Amino acid sequence: MRPDLKILLVDDEPNVLAAFQRNLRQRFQIDTATSGPEALQKLEQHGPYAVVVADMQMPEMNGLELLVQVEARSPDTVRIMLTGNADQKTAVDAVNRGHVFRFLNKPCPVELMAQTLQAALHQYQLITAERELLERTLNGTIRLLTEVLSSAHPVAFQISQRLRQAVREYASFFKLKQSWDLEAAALLFPLGHLTLPPAVLDKLVRSLPLDPKEQELVERTPEMGANLLAHIPRLESVAAILRYQHKHYDGSGLPADRIAGEDIPAAARVFKVLRDMVELEVQGQDRSQALAILQERQGWYDPRVLQSAAACFDVFLHKTPADQPTIRSRTLDELAVGQVLASDVETEDGILVLKSGTELTAVVLQRLRNFAALNPVKEPIYVMG
């Protein structure tokens, strides 16, 4: 028995549970609950479960209501309905609302239950294997796009690293379970810049002024970036964040549609605050000044998000010295992938190569070493951690 393949049997008749546990415990890892609320508590405390089997007729919460809750809290869990009332409406509701895998009648023979549980465990392994493969593919795709951005637009890449750190701090403070979309958006927010003509992108990289037509092209890059991601499975929500990264809460800003207020995706409203805060920091403001400037921009931000960001970063601004990361000196040869620069990297002639806060990816580190081979950089180089 694999210890991670746990099964939860839920029935308000203790004798039924005892009989199944006695006959199946040698083949399966089984836990039991005698009510829907107890089952949800166990799901929260001891989950995830690979399979949940629920009796339809239970007090407080019937089996269908329980399985709907199980799906919402643990979508990968395979759900099975057990009932002594096999009418058509019960079966239809179980399939349509509870999305059950199998429907079993009571009394259910032990061997039939064993065969059903084995099939359900196989289904769970298929679901989780497919999800893990998709997640690895997605992470690889994002890593590749990030590496491309680091080469094509190093200034925006450095901003994206600082933005990702701000997202992580915000998610940690509020214990957000689903912050992956925000982190991916932080890394990919300049993606639309890759659609710009080379001459315009070169101006952006070198911080040169743009003419009105060039500025219009740049303003369209969030939508272009969103369109690039929109057709990649599981990145639709990231695309929505990118599309609305310049949208104001009062409906002004881009895109110029009728979306405003609560109709703007919630993650995009959070991203707008964090992105603008980091951009002000890059322009030379400290975090307290940046947050104060955001507070003065009437109608730009969701007031609750702005208030939550102020509460979050006030805590991070007042960290004790013991909470701060350790700064270490390294030679160029000692630098490693994953380290974050604690100071600017400059050539011996004083030319800026990389800004403080840049995370050293494989591509960034190789570019730095290639550059240093022709233009020696000042050492030691300071990194965090």
Output the average pLDDT for the chain.
86
Under the banding of pLDDT at 50, 70 and 90, the label for residue 244 is very high
Written as six digits, the tokens of 166 are 């701000």
Instruction: Return d(Cα 172, Cα 328) in angstroms, integer.
Output: 25
93 pLDDT above the threshold of 80:
no
* One domain for residues 157 and 284: yes
pLDDT value at residue 320: 52
Look up the CATH number of the domain holding residue 234: 1.10.3210.10
* One domain for residues 209 and 341: no
Q: Which domain holds residue 375?
A: 327-384
Is the peptide bond between 190 and the residue preceding it cis, with omega within 30 degrees of 0?
A: no
Instruction: Return d(Cα 200, Cα 211) in angstroms, integer.
Output: 10
pLDDT value at residue 147: 80
pLDDT value at residue 249: 96
Written as six digits, the tokens of 239 are 């695309």
pLDDT value at residue 89: 58
Instruction: Return d(Cα 34, Cα 11) in angstroms, integer.
Output: 5
* One domain for residues 41 and 122: yes
Of the three residues 305, 322, 339, the one that is the final residue of a domain is 322
Q: What is the pLDDT of residues 106-154, one digit of tens each?
A: 888 999 999 999 999 999 999 888 778 777 777 787 887 888 777 777 7
SS3 state of residue 79 = strand
The count of domains in the chain is 3
% of the chain at pLDDT higher than 70 = 91
Look up the CATH number of the domain holding residue 354: 3.90.105
- What predicted TM-score, i.e. pTM, was given to this entire model? 0.60
pLDDT value at residue 87: 55
Q: What is the pLDDT of residues 357-374, one digit of tens each?
A: 788 888 888 888 988 888
* One domain for residues 307 and 197: yes
36 pLDDT above the threshold of 60:
yes
SS3 state of residue 347 = strand
SS3 state of residue 264 = coil
4 pLDDT above the threshold of 90:
no
* One domain for residues 214 and 157: yes
